[in-house]
Amino acid sequence: MALSVEPRLLVLDEPTSALDTVTSAAFLADLTRLRHETGAAVLLVSHDLGSVAGVADRVAVMEGGRIVELGPPEAVLADPVSERGRALVAAARPGVAAAAADPEERVEEAALLCASDLRLVRESPLLDGVSLALAPGDCLSVVGPSGCGKTTLLRCIAGLDAPTSGEIRLQGEALARDVRGRDPRQRRRVQLVPQDPCASLNPRRTVAAIVGRPLAFRPDIPAARQPAEVERLLSQVGLGAELGGRLPGALSGGQRQRVALARALAADPEVLLCDEVTSALDPSVATAVTELIARLRTELGLAVVMVTHDLSVAARLGGRVAVLHDGRIRETGPASRLLSRPEHDVTRALVAAMPHRSRAAGEDVTR
């Protein structure tokens, strides 16, 4: 639509924020080609420094409404001069978290959550025989191209979408496919953190009221103790008690995501389902949220299923990675092995498109 009027300047606002690495790389390759063919200037706004640096002639780093650094992408990536630039560069180059020994064997020995042969058919199959298992404290990152069924898988585990067939068990106890058929204890034990905190947090309720809502269903925490518990939960996710009186609209994106995490933790869950919780955050904030989830997993023994299109999130979390494509798991294994030695074609394409990997500017890894 924008190109139909043959513009001299094309302004793009976060065009790749919700895309997987392969689709993002393909979009940026097309953008580079169109820029050369039409001669249009491009102003590309993005929180993903690693991706845009591969197609930009210059990169400007902003903080507090000011440009704090400006230069060729190679210079900014190699030797950032601003504090903000250094933080963005560090977040764009993740290492791979160390994995526990024999994670597959540990899961088989003490499975907490098991999903077996899940199928969901609408006009066509959205999930086609997906199985997974997690032990207490385990982490499984589910990655794959956009539209492959990642969010649908989480919604089925949470009972928000009822699978056509298959079975979900929590410590050997069968869970109803529809959340309305699960008892309060079962609902409490499995909590979903949605992708968009703006849509999931009531804009008319204070942070304290939002976080405190699940406490009303916990008989172990009487009403008199609930305000103190809300403060403890906010502290646990790195937020000050003074934010309890604010509305969600007065918070930053990272703060809203932490509130969504605190609300999920208020139910005292054993399984945390995270749906693209870093997709709308800049790399440094996304890194902080990812590290928070990793810390909570370790401290509380939570089993975490992390759906993400960002392989750097999977790298930081460690644990295991499952690659979903067309509703089926195509490859699974420890994050360190899968990200360094991918075996399936889909996995190789996703890894090759990671922004920190070397490739020619504007190269389309999908062709």
Q: Is residue 184 assigned to a domain?
A: yes
The confidence score (pLDDT) of residue 126 equals 95
Both 315 and 197 in a single domain? yes
Q: What is the pLDDT of residue 61?
A: 92
Domain end point (choices 92, 112, 136): 92
Provide the domain count of the chain. Answer: 2
pLDDT at position 284: 80
Residue 21 neighbours by CB distance under 10 Å: 25
State whether 77 and 139 are in the same domain. no
pLDDT for the residue 367: 42
Burial level of 224, CB count in 10 A (0-12/13-18/19+)?
exposed
| Domain final residue pick, 92, 114, 132 | 92
Sign of the torsion angle spanned by Cα atoms 173, 179, 185, 191:
positive
Is residue 293 domain-resident? yes
Which tokens belong to 365?
A: 């890894």
Whole-angstrom Cα distance, residue 14 to residue 1? 17
Same domain for 53 and 165? no
Q: Which pLDDT does position 359 carry in this prediction?
A: 44
Q: Which CATH number fits the domain that encloses residue 255? A: 3.40.50.300
Residue numbers of the domain that contains 23: 2-92
Contact 188, 267 (CB under 8 A): yes
Asked, for residue 176, whether it belongs to a domain, the answer is yes
Are 172 and 112 members of one domain?
A: yes
The pLDDT score that the predictor gives to residue 130 is 97
Distances (CA, A) of 72 to 34, 57, 225, 322: 21, 6, 55, 36
Across the chain, which has 367 residues, the per-10-residue mean pLDDT values are 85 81 82 89 85 85 92 88 86 57 51 96 94 96 91 96 96 96 95 89 96 94 96 95 95 92 96 91 84 92 93 90 96 93 92 64 44
